[in-house]
Structure 1
Amino acid sequence: MHADKKMCGMEPSSEYVDLAAEVLSILSDPTRIRIVLALRQVDELPVGALAEIVGKKPSGVSQHLARLRMARMVTTRQEGTSVLYRLTDEHAIAVVAEAIKQAEHAVANGQLPPHHHSAGQPRAGS
């Protein structure tokens, strides 16, 4: 049973801790977070469209995409003369989503953050 926990990487002594820190480091840039969020909304996008969405120059976005691609968080597909970028899997968005939830808690000033409110449910204190 202990071996199963270690294999999944959830033990403090896991061999994946250093790699997890690298993942968090790569996702520590606001532009890269915006890219991940943009690719979550639209399955595939070229650099120019991503640059417009995140409000940065295509050359800068291209550099961020290269880092995400090296980390295997995004992948590419050629369509004619365009290179389309997409998330490799759901894990990068899961990390970003949890970080955003934590950020919401950090600024909630003791109130329930937005992700705790479901549609049609009254807010605390109302």
Structure 2
Amino acid sequence: MDVSQAQVDVQQLADLFKVLGDSTRLRIVQQLLNKEMCVTDIAEAMGMGQSAISHQLRVLRQARLVTFRKEGKTALYSLNDDHVVVLLSQGIEHVSHQ
């Protein structure tokens, strides 16, 4: 890997951590750990408005942390892949470590 590629990788990683640096987005990711959910269900579980959740889901989608599929008119969101689960699990383990 050349220096310029390493710089790109570091910037992409920094951007990823910026996205995960928001507590609302982290809570959404936690909601999606066990099952796929629609915006309405996420908003209700978190006690927030649907438009605020939709905005945060858009940011998470752009960062490729979540994905969605359509079921009729409903969009069901889930974590993009197992890397997201591992990343979150490792972070939780790290902050819990004494």
Calculate the TM-score normalised by the size of structure 1: 0.68
Q: Map 1:3-82 onto structure 2 (within 5 A).
A: 6=1, 14=6, 15-42=8-35, 44-82=36-74
Higher radius of gyration, 1 or 2:
1
Higher helix share: 2
Structure 2 Cα separation of the partners of residues 91 and 32 of structure 1: 16
Gaps of 5+ in 1: 1-5, 109-126
- Tell me, yes or no, if the aligned pair for 1:27 and 1:96 is still in contact at 8 Å: no
Give the alignment's Cα RMSD to 1 decimal: 2.0
Calculate the TM-score normalised by the size of structure 2: 0.85
What is the number of equivalent residue pairs in this alignment?
96
Structure 1 Cα separation of the partners of residues 21 and 85 of structure 2: 13
Identity %: 35
Higher relative contact order (CA 8 A, sep 6+): 2
